[in-house]
Amino acid sequence: MDDEIERFDQPLKVLLVGGSSVGKTCILRRFVEGEFPNKCKATLGLDFKIKSMKIGQQIVKMQLWDTSGQERFRSMTQAYYRGASGIMLVYDVTEENTLTTLPDWLGDITNYAPEDVEVVLLANKSDVGEQRVVSKEAGEEFAKEHGLKFFETSAVENINITEAFTAMAELLAKKAKLKETPDNVNVTAPNGKSSYEVSQQAEKKSGCGC
Ligand code: GTP
């Protein structure tokens, strides 16, 4: 049967973290809802959405947590690193300080997230043209130095958004595959679903007024 797939029902927790206004909420909404939000207020606290992706013969269900980049919520966010399988670390190519403070975020990840957490670095707002102050090379260099996968993204123009989440899902699928047991494999795919996206469901937890 060619549509027999492996499904990992337990959602894997993936956090979006990074400085305030780098575009975390817009990236998440672009990915989950397929559009750029007209209006977006700062995230107050945390909010999550669920999305499943088919990676090869595996379905990876991700619980995607949007966090606030505001300093006053930092300790709250730190509590959510616990149990995270993946972290999308985001900076803004129009704000140099969002790049220079990345080591602080990596410090939090080291201190509060599981040791084997997967981290993908996103340089957002790559659509801006002359407002750019951080070169692609600077981001690539930082990513290389820290062994991170790197994407320049634009939530506005939908550049590399799916690619970045696919890369994360692939990293998680690879790891889940290594840990798989006979109990969580061989679940048949829902009829008629052939694309990589097999289910989509959004849930609001708190805060974001978008
Ligand atoms: P906090 O909730 O404060 O942590 O912010 P955030 O990181 O979730 O940022 P948010 O998604 O709210 O976006 C902040 C601002 O950046 C908004 O005005 C967005 O319209 C804008 N923005 C987000 N993504 C992009 C992008 O890809 N390109 C451009 N040009 N602007 C963007």
Residue range 79-91, pLDDT digits in tens: 889 999 999 999 9
Domain ranges, residue 77: 2-206
Nearest Cα to Cα of residue 18 among 65, 67, 62: 67
Over 80: is that where the pLDDT of 7 sits? no
52: Cβ below 6 Å to ligand 1?
Answer: no
With CA atoms as reference, report the closest residue to 66 among 193, 199, 210, 166: 210
Residue 179 is predicted with a pLDDT of: 66
Per-residue pLDDT, 202 = 35
- For 172, the token pair is 């998680």
Q: Which atom of ligand 1 lies nearest, measured to the CA of 159?
A: 27
What pLDDT shows up at residue 178?
Answer: 65
If one counts the domains in the chain, the total is: 1
Query: Is residue 161 in contact with ligand 1, taking CB distance under 6 Å?
Result: no
Confidence of residue 193 (pLDDT cuts 50, 70, 90): very low
Give me the CATH number covering residue 68.
Answer: 3.40.50.300
pLDDT in tens, 32-58: 998 887 766 677 666 789 999 999 888
Band of the pLDDT at 6, cuts 50, 70, 90?
Answer: low
At 9-21, the pLDDT tens digits run 678 999 999 999 9
What is the number of the ligand 1 atom nearest to the C-alpha of 69? Answer: 4
Best of 16, 17, 20, 21 for a ligand 1 pocket test (most atoms within 8 Å of beta carbon) = 21
* 0.95 surpassed by pTM: no
Average pLDDT over residues 182-195: 37
121-156 residue pLDDT tens: 999 999 999 999 999 999 999 999 999 999 999 999
Nearest CA to ligand 1 atom 26: 125
CA 36–ligand 1 middle distance (angstroms): 10
**Encoded tokens for 209:** 């007024």
CA atoms within 13 A on the CB side of 32: 24
Strand (E) positions, the chain? 4-18, 46-55, 58-67, 86-92, 118-124, 149-152, 187-188, 197-202
CA distances from 42 to 70, 153, 166, 207 (A): 9, 19, 26, 9
Compute the mean pLDDT over every residue in the chain, rounded to the nearest whole number.
83
Q: Is 69 in the pocket of ligand 1 (CB under 6 A)?
A: yes
Instruction: Identify the band that residue 72 occupies on the pLDDT scale cut at 50, 70 and 90.
Output: confident
> Percent of the chain, pLDDT > 70?
76
What's the pLDDT score for residue 112? 96
CA end-to-end span of the chain, whole Å?
Answer: 43
pLDDT of residue 198: 33
C-alpha angle 50-92-150 in degrees, rounded to nearest 5: 65
Give residue for tokens 């995270």: 84
pLDDT value of position 47: 72
Residue 41 has what DSSP assignment? P
Helix intervals (H) in 113-195? 136-146, 161-179
